[in-house]
Amino acid sequence: MERALAVPRLPPHDPGTPALSVVDMHTGGEPLRIVLAGCPEVVGPTLLAKRRYMRQHLDHLRRRLMFEPRGHRDMYGAVLVPSELPDAHLGVLFLHNEGYSSMCGHAVLALGRFAVDFGLVPAPPAAAREARVNIHCPCGLVAAFVECEGGRSRGPVRFHSVPAFALATDLLVDVPGRGKMVVDIAYGGAFYAFVSAEKVGLDVCSAKTRDLVDAASAVTEAVKAQFKINHPESEDLSFLYGTILTDGKDTYSEEPTSNICVFADEQVDRSPTGSGVTARIALQYHKGLLELNQTRAFKSSATGSVFTGKAVREAKCGDFKAVIVEVSGQAHYTGTASFIVENDDPLRDGFLLK
C-alpha cells in the first residue's frame, strides 16, 4: 500500500512576499482568477483612482497572476476592493494581459455567484430564488442577479449594464494591407469596434483563430490611429478596448449570432463577451434592428458558449441616447490556488511568449 505524502501547507517561499490566494472560475470558457488574499491595499478615494494606483504601484501583481508560469497570455483576473458608492456590495478591478479593463461582463457573471457563495452580500433567505449583487466596476455600478437555491448560488446569472450606446456607425477606416472598410463603434462599459468577418475575408465560425486575431488586431490599430474615442463622462473610459468580428447577422433572429472578441494585447475571449454583447445590443437597438425586451442569443465562435441579451430600457449617457442591457450567462468554479514567490526566481513576476 502506498503511503500518503505529508504535504506542507505551502512550499518554501520568500516569507516577505505574501502568498496570493485565488479562486478560479470560468464563464462560457473565459477564465476569471479572483484574488482572495495576499494583495496589498489598493489606495485611492475612488475606484478609478484605485485603478490608476494599481497600474502605477502594483502592476507586478497583475503580471505575476496573469502571465506564465502561473497564468497564460489569455488569463483574466479580478481584484476586489472597497467602493465609495453606498449602494455597492463590492468594487472590482479587472486584470488582463495588457493592463486594466473598465468593464468585464463574463467576470460580473462569475462575481455574482462568488459574492453570494463567499458571503460578500447578506445571505439570501433559503426560499429566495434570486439574490442581487451590486458590483462597482470602473465604468460604473452594475447590478447582477444570481439564481439561488437553499441560500447558495446555482444556475445562470444576469446583469444590468451601465448605459450602453453607439458612438459611431458606418465609419470608413483604412486598414493597412486590407483596404478600406466600414466599421461601427459602440460602448458597453468598454468601447469596441464591430465589423463582419466577411469584410476581412474570413468566416468567423470556421477560420483559424490566428487569422481572426490578426484581422481584428489590424482593425483595432487602424481605428485607434484614425478615430478619437471620447466617453462623455470620463477620460479614463476613453479608449478602444478591442475589435469584435461578427457573422454579420445583425437583423433580429431567434437563431444565435456568432462573434469573437480580440481585446487588449491580442487576447482572445473564449465567451461571447458580456460587455461586447452589451455594446452589440446597443448598436442593434440604435439601428432599429432590435426592440426593447427582445432577447437575442450570442454564440462564441471560439467555444460555442452562449450568452443572451436584451435592451430593457432607454437611458442617456451624456448627450448620447443609450440603453440598459441585460446579459445572462452561466459561470462555473474550477478550483483554488495559492501562488508564492521564491526570492531567487528570475521569472518571479511572470513572462509572456509572443
The share of the chain scoring above pLDDT 70, in percent, equals 98
Residue 317 and residue 204 share a domain: yes
Residue 249 and residue 303 share a domain: yes
Residue in the block written with cell 506542507: 8
**What b/e sequence results for 250-266 when a residue is b if at least 16 CB atoms lie within 10 Å of its CB, and e otherwise?**
beeeeebbbbbbbbbeb
CATH code for the domain of 74 = 3.10.310.10
Tally of domains in the chain: 2
Supply the pLDDT for residue 7: 53
Residue in the block written with cell 461571447: 272
Supply the pLDDT for residue 1: 44
Residue 53 and residue 138 share a domain: yes
Q: Is residue 247 part of a domain?
A: yes
Residue 173 and residue 152 share a domain: no
Domain extent for 288: 162-327
Supply the pLDDT for residue 5: 55
Q: Is residue 7 part of a domain?
A: no
Which whole number is the average pLDDT over 19-41? 97
Supply the pLDDT for residue 125: 82
Q: Is residue 13 part of a domain?
A: no
Q: Is residue 32 part of a domain?
A: yes
Which whole number is the average pLDDT over 271-289? 98
Q: Is residue 14 part of a domain?
A: no
Cell of 29: 470558457
Biggest CA–CA distance in the chain, Å, is 73
Residue 212 and residue 105 share a domain: no
2 has a pLDDT exceeding 80: no
Residue 206 and residue 193 share a domain: yes
Q: Is residue 6 part of a domain?
A: no
Supply the pLDDT for residue 155: 82
Q: Which letter does DSSP use for residue 307 in this model?
A: E
Residue 316 and residue 202 share a domain: yes
Each residue's pLDDT tens digit, 215-272: 999 999 999 999 999 999 999 999 999 999 999 999 999 999 999 999 999 999 999 9
Q: Is residue 298 part of a domain?
A: yes
Residue in the block written with cell 433580429: 252
Residue 75 and residue 109 share a domain: yes
Residue 135 and residue 34 share a domain: yes
Per-residue pLDDT band for 8 (boundaries 50, 70, 90) equals low
- Hey, which residues are catalytic here? 104
DSSP reduced 3-state for 219? helix
Q: Which letter does DSSP use for residue 161 in this model?
A: P
Residue 180 and residue 69 share a domain: no
Each residue's pLDDT tens digit, 61-100: 999 999 999 999 999 999 999 999 999 999 999 999 999 9
322 has a pLDDT exceeding 60: yes
Residue 177 and residue 157 share a domain: no
Helix (H) or strand (E) holding 259: strand 257-263
104 has a pLDDT exceeding 90: yes
10 Å Cβ neighbour count for 178?
16
**What are the phi and psi torsion angles at 255 (to 5°)?**
-80, 145
10 Å Cβ neighbour count for 179?
10
How far apart are the C-alpha atoms of 220 and 288, rounded to whole Å? 26
Helix (H) or strand (E) holding 221: helix 209-226
Q: Is residue 316 part of a domain?
A: yes
Reported residue count of the chain is 354
How far apart are the C-alpha atoms of 216 and 16, rounded to whole Å? 42
Average pLDDT, the chain: 96
3 has a pLDDT exceeding 90: no
Residue 41 and residue 166 share a domain: no
Supply the pLDDT for residue 45: 98
Residue in the block written with cell 512576499: 17
Short-list 169, 175, 172, CA closest to 192: 169
